[in-house]
Amino acid sequence: MVSLSIVAAGLGLVVAAAAFLRLADSDETDAVHLVVLEYGFAFALLIAGFGLIVIEMLT
């Protein structure tokens, strides 16, 4: 049975990833290494969020 709390946690990670993607796409950050770090956090959060949702759906 799918646990709603785990799916909500996965969606929360996806929302946080979207915030990091918006931050990386904005012109607020001038340093290249910080933009790379923001994209890294965004993709890590996306993988963790979608992975959490997929694993919960499979179990």
Could you read off the pLDDT of 3-39 as tens digits, one per residue?
A: 899 999 999 999 999 999 998 888 777 788 888 999 9
User: What is the value of pTM for the model shown?
Assistant: 0.82
pLDDT at 46: 95
Q: 29 near 11, Cβ under 8 Å?
A: no
SS (H, E, C) 20-35: HHHHHHCCCCCCHHHH
pLDDT at 40: 94
